[in-house]
Amino acid sequence: MSNTQDSFLRLPDVKKRTGLPRSTIYRLIKDGSFPKQIKLSERTSVWSCDAVSSWIEEQKQKAGVA
């Protein structure tokens, strides 16, 4: 376990980091192949920075890029 504290990403940040459009992110969540968002309030959803980073690394490994 790392000593760094996990932070949150809002949807625009997730889109920027992954290069995916909103619709694809939500489709992948529905398919169970992308980290689920965390609901902070009725109108605020965020993603774990660590979870998104891990997903990106998994995609790189699948593609043979590291």
What span, in angstroms and rounded, lies between the C-alpha atoms of 13 and 56?
A: 13
Which backbone phi and psi does 48 adopt, to 5 degrees? Answer: -70, 125
- State pLDDT tens for residues 16-39: 999 999 999 999 999 999 999 999
Q: Which residues, in sequence order, are CB contacts of 59 under 8 Å at separation 6+? A: none
Domain map (residue ranges) of the chain: 8-63
Can you state the angle between helices 22-31 and 11-18, rounded to 10 degrees? 90
Domain 8-63 annotated CATH 1.10.238: yes
Cα 7–Cα 9–Cα 12 angle in degrees, nearest 5: 160
Res 1: pLDDT = 46
